[in-house]
Amino acid sequence: MMDWPIGPYGTSMGALLLMTLPIHFFLTRDEKDRRVSLRDLPSEIRQKGYWWHILLYILMFIFKGIIDHHNEPMKDRVGGFTHWIYAIEGDWTNNLQEFFLNDTLTNLLSGHYLFMYLFMIWFSPMYYILCRDEVMADKAAINYFVIYLLSVPLYLFFNVEVTSTYLADMDALLYHDTFTLAFFTNNDPMDNAIPSLHVGLPISLLIINRLHCRKLGINLKDWRHREFDIFVSVNVMIYLFSIQYLGIHWLIDIVPGILLAIITSSFVHSVQPIVRARNENGLSSLLPNRNQLIASILTVLICSTWLINGVVDGPGTDEEEANMRVGIGDINLDTIEVHTLWDPVYVDVSNVGEYDLDVLLIQRDNVEQYVEKGIFEWDSFVSEGDLFLLGSNNSTQFEVTPDNLFDVYIILVRLSDTSNLESGVLGEIRITPHYVDDELLWTGFLVSLPAFIITGIVIEGIINYRRYQNKL
């Protein structure tokens, strides 16, 4: 894997394109006459109006970049809540990893994690497009868009570190590896554990499938896309295990992922006919009605008030709470993002535990070749960085000014001089970055509003449905 000429993203995208048609052909082997050939695909896109699906995915790529740009600068004002999750769940995922740990399983699950989520996002609408089912193609595309919108407030205002950052002895099997280190430090804040969209997105697809069949008045087992539904279900089961085994998600992360899936599927199922009929009914048909508008405004007010009064400068910013913990033999990592080339990033590092810590500021390029499956070869690169011994209850501050956009610095932390320490001891540290664009907190509110609006519309729909049922 170390000598593979292209990185995780290029590998996944290449595999994605190569696997699309073979998997589609297998799933549709009983209805070859309903397939769209590659030669007819452009005309199918024009005829069914799939141009907005393409635009939606381009928009999502840009929007995700904007959200990721907000994540680190907002940490100073919102902090993190990993200690709350740990207080509820404890070391469950660490015990699971230790029980099943082996290299073959790690390689298989890492490959599945890297490839299948991207594949699911891409393949879901493509499968239906190639099957001449524009209704489900619409729903699959809108599903990805909506569930990510719903996750934004949680990603920005409820930071929860991945398990391998907080649980002692939990290996970051996926993140900390020569093959994947640069990819994940560039693309994953590693504190967006809640919600798990690797579970939420496919579960939302499964719920949409069932709502669709109920609307058609057929059993799921008789649906023409039943095998695709099974395909999605199998991958959900794999993800339920892999996201914990690989040192990524907490068990609790699955719950908000499922809740978002329920909200998303309900919204998508209801809105798709409106979107498909927009040309006939006019663009104004896409706007919420009076009751939906009132419900959305109330939801925006309630959620925004909670964020302002309960989260910003709230319990997550407690300077005595660690957002990273290390055990004997652990080396954990935090990334300093590049937001500007002329203003430095100031990073406060505080040892909030009982034991001395080694804290190393170093360029990622000097580390990348010395890490494999969660294990760092500390002695091979320590001389290339700035090493600090941070005693208990002591603090320091790093000032980092990158020379170019690709000049990524990381902070590595480990227990210092473990020869006299007993097993089970923990080093606890709090890392807080301060970026020049920390005013992004306010645009963070703005990009969260669509989630509140959608939630309000869904709540109004549920209330309206119950009223209708009571009248029957």
pLDDT tens-digit series, residues 258-275: 999 999 999 999 999 999
Query: Does the pLDDT value for residue 314 go beyond 60?
Result: yes
The H or E element spanning position 253 is none
Question: Residues 309-337: what's their mean pLDDT?
Answer: 92
Q: 390 - beta bridge partners?
A: 357
Q: How many CA atoms lie within 13 A of 234 on its CB side?
A: 8
Residue 467 has pLDDT above 80, yes or no: no
- Region of residue 259 (phi > 0: left; psi between -120 and 50: alpha; otherwise: beta): alpha
Tell whether the model's pLDDT for residue 172 goes beyond 80: yes
Residues 163, 169, 173, 176: what is their CA dihedral angle, to the nearest 10 degrees?
Answer: 90
To which H or E segment does residue 278 belong?
helix 278-281
Task: State the chain's mean pLDDT as an integer.
Answer: 91
Q: What is the mean pLDDT of residues 334-359?
A: 91
Q: Per DSSP, what are the bridge partners of residue 427? A: 326
State the pLDDT confidence band at 2, using cuts at 50, 70 and 90. very low
Range 190-201 average pLDDT: 93
Residue 438: pLDDT band (50, 70, 90) is low
Task: Report percent pLDDT > 70 for the chain.
Answer: 97
Ranking 54-63, 227-236, 348-357, 416-425 by mean pLDDT, the lowest is 416-425
Other beta carbons within 10 Å of 376: 22
Type and span of the H or E element at 118: helix 103-130
Statement: residue 423 has pLDDT above 90:
no
Q: Which pair of tokens denotes residue 93?
A: 């995922």
Ordered structural domains, the chain, with CATH = 8-288 (no CATH), 324-435 (2.60.120)
The pLDDT tens digits for 119-170 are 999 999 999 999 999 999 999 999 999 999 999 999 999 999 999 999 988 9
CA atoms within 13 A on the CB side of 97: 28
Residue 182 CA to residue 174 CA, distance in Å, equals: 12
Mean local confidence (pLDDT), 210-224: 95
Provide the pLDDT confidence category of residue 4 given band limits of 50, 70 and 90: low
The sign one gets for the Cα dihedral 234, 205, 61, 23 is positive
- On whether the CB atoms of residues 316 and 355 are closer than 8 A, the answer is no
Which of the two residues, 470 and 61, has the higher pLDDT score? 61
Residue-wise pLDDT tens digits, 368-396: 899 988 889 999 999 999 999 999 999 99
Residue 472: predicted pLDDT: 55
Q: Kindly tell me if the per-residue pLDDT of 52 is higher than 60.
A: yes
Q: How confident is the model at residue 322 (pLDDT cuts 50, 70, 90)?
A: very high
In terms of C-beta density within 10 A (0-12 exposed, 13-18 middle, 19 or more buried), how is residue 348 classed? middle
> Residue 192 pLDDT more than 60?
yes
Per the CB < 8 A criterion, the answer to whether 129 and 137 are in contact is yes
Residue 249's CB is within 10 A of a number of other CB atoms, namely: 26
Cα separations in angstroms, 147 against 143, 197, 471? 6, 8, 32
CA–CA gap between residue 184 and residue 113 (Å, rounded): 12
Q: Which of 32-41, 88-97, 228-237 has the lowest mean pLDDT?
A: 32-41
Crossing angle (nearest 10°) for helices 134-157 and 254-276: 140
Contact (Cβ atoms closer than 8 angstroms) between residue 197 and residue 148? yes
Nearest to 350 by CA among 79, 108, 139: 79
Q: Return all residues near 303 (Cβ < 8 A) that are at least 6 apart.
A: 153, 448, 452, 455
Q: In the prediction, which pLDDT does 3 show?
A: 53
| Mean pLDDT value across residues 415-434 | 88
In DSSP notation, 63-81 reads HHHHHHHHHHHHHHHH---
Q: Which residues contact 228 (CB under 8 A, 6 or more apart)?
A: 27, 127
Element (H, E) at 384: none
Q: Which two tokens stand for residue 38?
A: 């590659």
User: What is the C-alpha separation between 205 and 373, in angstroms, rounded?
Assistant: 32
Q: Give the residue, 390 or 439, on which the prediction is more confident.
A: 390
Q: How confident is the model at residue 1 (pLDDT cuts 50, 70, 90)?
A: very low
- H runs (alpha helix) in 158-196: 163-166, 181-187
Average pLDDT of span 295-303: 96
What's the pLDDT band for 114 if we cut at 50, 70, 90?
confident
447 pLDDT more than 90 = yes
Span 221-244, mean pLDDT? 95
- Choice among 44-48, 174-178, 266-270, 446-450 with the minimum mean pLDDT: 174-178
Q: What is the DSSP letter of 422?
A: P
